[in-house]
Amino acid sequence: MQALLEVLREDATLITVNRRLARAVINAHAERGIAAGDRTWRTPDVIPFAAWVERIWRQTDHAPGAALLRPAQERLLWEQVVGENAPAGEDEETPLEVAPAARQASRAYAIVNAWNISLDAREFDFSQESRVFRNWARGFEACCARDGWLDAGRAATALCDRRSFAEGTLRRRAVFAGFDIVTPQLEAIRNALSARGVDVTQPTPSRRKAVITRRGFDHPPTEIGAAAAWVRKTLRDAPTTRIGVVVPELHRMRAQVERVFDEYLVPGSALPDRAVEYRPFNLSFGQPVSRVPVVGDALLALKLGGARSELAAVGRLLRSPYLSGDKQAQFARAALDARLRDVGEPEISLRTLAARFGRSGLHDPGFEALPALRESAPRQQRLSAWAEFFSDWLGRLGWPGGRVLASEEFQAVEAFRGLLDELAGMGAVIGPVVFDRALALLLGLAEEHVFQPRAEPAPVQILGALETAGLSFDKIWITGLHDGSWPPSPEPNPLLPVTLQRRAGLPQASPEGQLELARLRLAGWLESADQVVLSYALSEKDEPLRPSSLITAIDLDQDEVASDSPAAAFGALLQSEAPSLEQFHDQRGPALAETRLTRGGAALIEDQSACPFRAFARWRLGARAVSIADSPLDDRVRGNLVHAILFKLWSEIQTHAALSSLTTEALRERVSSTVDEVLAQERRYRPETLRGMIAEAERERLCQLVESWLVLERKRSPFSVVAREEALETELGPLTLSIRPDRVDRLQSGDYFVLDYKTGRPQVKGWFGRRPDDPQLAVYTLVVEAGDEGREVAGAAYATLRRGGLGFAGLAASEGLVGGVTTLAASRVEASKTVADWKSLKNDWRETLDALAASFASGEARVDPKSPHSTCSHCQVKPLCRIFEQRANETAESGE
């Protein structure tokens, strides 16, 4: 670095291998200036190679010639070329994915240019891959020629000709820094510069004799932790030490490395609401801007403009902190998300979403305005118009929100603005497109654009293996030097003939080249600081590793850092300094206050019977989980549909006699129209599911099911339906509940019979005991009898409507009342042997239900599932009851 600053005089241009080095040189230059008392200076001309080529090109090109393609434009052009030239066979089973192929091709083309590989070489004929690539490349060149474009690679090649530099584009000296691979192209450019009389230099780093140590660790995380601890110790002793930490796998481990260094260098930085003013380290790796939440959410918002959006994505958007509105509005949107998930439609259209806002009384002007906006856009328009449209769209939603942006968010928003510029710029390559295509291009841009928040000057730099070129430090620690990755295995470009790549001298193309390069890099590190630590892990996951053979010759240092610094992790500190906890017993809530009506109905009783805590949590605390239903037409919904249909049918037909009088055709007709009506109603709630063929299939299914059910009912002895889902208020113990029995029939005898429609496999054995599994029919029975003095319910049964399982299942006072329903004595249900007859069963029920109701009213909230496995398995309040504490010692039952 020192050497670089020396050559950095006013008449020099410093061309760096990457942006990072340029940044570092400028900062170092500034630091030196400030230290020397300068307050203002001419910015030194330090520029990354690619930007330099572009600058020369733009400054030179005064006459209309080929225009330089921006990276995004170039990519798009490649995509078009590959898309057109991907020979799709007649019945091609697996077409090529164009976008990644285009990216690969453009990479190969860059190699061709930089390494001076001739597309005419006959080696291109040998394999399919290179033949295909050559076609693409030719197509690309033809395209450029036709439309007057030039790609960055060929623009650089053009600089190999000394005439390409216009007057005034060059300074007297050119310094190339950080290029540890010199391509033939670069070599030629330097020659051309020399020929123009420019003084070309490649500064030689000052050679230092470093203290070198080597350290092994059992796992990569330990290795990173040790490096961070070492950095902490170093900085504590000497706060201004310039330290480099190299992590070759940084692209994979970014989050982890950042976190560990945060933990060590800025302990407690994860705590909420604590602004970290300054972090003493920089991480060289950015991430796609699409992954920065503020931009990610903008993209989610734009995706709403497509035909349909995934519910999960819509949910994320609804919970985004980057939309307009105060807290109330944010909570309202979150609540809407919860409702949408309840419905369980996996996809939702913009229109439906907007309508939902209105229907649930949670108005949001932004969202509700979107459908109209979407319709106002022409089907096809130019990308610049779409960019404006997108901006408009986000504006309606109040993006980026009502919070004051943090610096990083602010920069990300600016980056997003840049993306829209790029998108508009892509319009130079293609004409008008539809919404989906424009959005896809924007998403692609956001995926490609690496966002790296502006690096503040800091003593510690954490870098990938390729980013250290030209940098120097006081101390450097290189991690990850195990034999699995160092030297790396060769990665010849698959689209170019390997022989040509090797002949051209591409280091990545051969093991020899990689070894050479690895040696070179290692040598560079050893010279880049006064103290060097080389480290490796001895295993990863459970695979054993060995130190790279390139470093095994170096002496092993035993005790550089204490194994674990006390500041290691704030959490571990909290854990180790834990106070003694206090024990408490909490199995009962306050008794229920006097209310006219308690929510919950029969379900409350069922819950109380299953587990008192569950009843308390659901009906007292209103605990509900948020989770997406497995299917938008799950058993619950389908059960409801059947209910609704039968409800409707019986309110018209009413009696057995009427049913019997219907002809088969008339019956079918009735059923069919009722099913249609009910489905139409339901469609309002599930517009995305109950459409097209699924709706048709469901209609078909329901018609058949209900029709065969009615045929079955026709075989019963005469009855009339007296009540259908009427809400009956009833007192059960101390509770007043509102109960809706599915159906009550009046039999010939004048007695009543209670029915409950089921679409699953209901079990009569769940009616018995102090804690019945299925108490609804018991509740219904008692409710019906309580409604009127002297009313007698003679039996209760499930009406099972399931394909392959139509029928009644229940118990009655005497045989032959309904379908196959028997007396207790005759029943095949084991448990019914324990009770004398129907009458005593009803008495038992009365006692049981009163007790359950009383227990609920008393505030009883024992965590006491009736049978831990089955009762708890689908219980949604599980996180709340803490049953898992009781089970901590048992291992969960699972298969092999």
Query: Binding to other proteins (CB under 8 A): which residues in 343-382?
Result: 346-347, 382
Q: Give the footprint of other proteins on residues 770-829 (CB under 8 A).
A: 802-805
Query: Which residue, 256 or 640, is less far from other proteins as judged by CB?
Result: 256
Tokens of 339: 């409702």
Q: Is 856 in the site for ligand SF4 (CB under 6 A)?
A: no
Shortest Å distance, C-beta 311 to ligand SF4: 26
Binding at 387: pick from ligand SF4, other proteins, none (beta carbon under 5-8 Å per type): other proteins
Partner whose footprint covers residue 101, from other proteins, ligand SF4, none (CB < 5 to 8 Å by kind): other proteins
152 binds, among other proteins, ligand SF4, none (CB under 5 to 8 A by kind): none
Among 137, 439, 611, 690, binds ligand SF4 (CB under 6 A): 611
Contact window for ligand SF4 (CB under 6 A) among 78-86, 312-320, 785-793, 874-882: 874-882
Tell how strand 531-537 and strand 211-217 pair up: parallel
Structure token pair of residue 264: 């060590």
Contact 507, 515 (CB under 8 A): no
Which residues are CB-contacts of 793 (< 8 A; sequence separation ≥ 6)? 751, 752, 753, 754, 781, 784, 785, 842
Interacting partner of 894 out of other proteins, ligand SF4, none (Cβ under 5 to 8 A depending on kind):
other proteins
Q: In the 3-class helix/strand/coil scheme, how is 493-562 assigned residue by residue? A: CCCCCHHHHHHHCCHHHCHHHHHHHHHHHHHHHHHCCCEEEEEEECEECCEECCECCCCCCCCECCCCCC
Q: Which is nearer to other proteins, 545 or 723 (CB)?
A: 545
Separation between Cα atoms, residue 275 and residue 273, nearest integer Å: 6
For residue 133, the one-letter residue type is F
User: What values do phi and psi take at 757, rounded to 5?
Assistant: -75, 135
CB proximity list for 89: less than 8 A, separation 6 or greater: none
Rounded to a whole number of angstroms, the minimum distance from the CB of residue 649 to other proteins is 20
Which of ligand SF4, other proteins, none has residue 220 at its interface (CB below 5 to 8 Å by kind)? none
- Nearest-5° Cα angle at 658, 657 to 661: 85
- Shortest Å distance, C-beta 862 to ligand SF4: 9
Binding-site size, other proteins (CB under 8 A)? 219
| Alpha-helical regions (H) of 182-219 | 184-195
Q: Specify the residue, 382 or 620, whose C-beta has the smaller distance to ligand SF4.
A: 620
Q: Scan for tokens 């650089």, then name that residue.
A: 156
Of residues 278 and 584, the one with the C-beta less far from ligand SF4: 584
Look at residue 322 and give the partner it binds from ligand SF4, other proteins, none, a contact being a CB closer than 5 to 8 Å depending on partner kind: other proteins
Q: Which among 413, 412, 439 has a CA at the least distance from the CA of 426?
A: 439
Residues 6+ apart with CB under 8 A from 771: 609, 610, 848, 852, 866
Please tell me whether residue 605 binds ligand SF4 under the rule CB under 6 A: no
SS in 3 state form for 588-620? ECCCCCCCCCECCHHHHHHHHHHCHHHHHHHHC
Q: Is position 613 an interface residue for ligand SF4 (rule: CB under 6 A)? A: yes
d(CA 133, CA 82): 9
Q: Per CB under 6 A, does 875 bind ligand SF4?
A: yes
Provide the CB-side half-sphere exposure for 566 (13 A, CA): 2
Answer yes or no: are the C-beta atoms of 49 and 17 closer than 8 Å. yes
Residue with tokens 């030629």: 188
Binding mask 496-515 for other proteins (x = CB under 8 A): --x----------x-xx-xx
Q: By CB under 8 A, tell whether 88 contacts other proteins.
A: no
From the CB of 558, what's the least distance to other proteins, in Å?
Answer: 20
249-288 residues in contact with other proteins (CB under 8 A) are 252, 254-256, 259, 262, 265-273, 278-281
Q: How many CA atoms within 13 Å lie on the side-chain side of 797? A: 27
Provide the minimum distance between the beta carbon of 262 and ligand SF4 in the complex, in angstroms, as a whole number. Answer: 37
Separation between Cα atoms, residue 243 and residue 767, nearest integer Å: 73
Task: Determine the distance from the C-alpha atom of residue 882 to the mean position of all C-alpha atoms in its chain, rounded to a whole number.
Answer: 28
Q: Which of residues 281-310 bind other proteins (CB under 8 A)?
A: 281, 290-291, 293-294, 296-297, 308
Which of residues 190, 521, 614, 746 is near ligand SF4 by CB under 6 A?
614
Binding piece for ligand SF4, criterion CB under 6 A, among 188-196, 230-238, 606-614, 764-772? 606-614
Q: Which CB atom, from 626 or from 680, has the smaller least distance to other proteins? A: 626
Binding-site member from 139, 305, 371, 425 for other proteins (CB under 8 A): 425
Q: How many Å apart are CA 67 and CA 58, to the nearest integer?
A: 9
Residue 767: CB minimum distance to other proteins, A: 25
Binding mask 540-569 for other proteins (x = CB under 8 A): -xxxxxx--xx---------------xx--
Beta carbon nearer to other proteins, 515 or 831:
515
Using the minimum distance from each CB to ligand SF4, give the nearer residue, 546 or 862.
Answer: 862
Q: Given the rule CB under 6 A, which residues bind ligand SF4?
A: 610-611, 613-614, 863, 865, 871-872, 875, 877-878, 881, 883
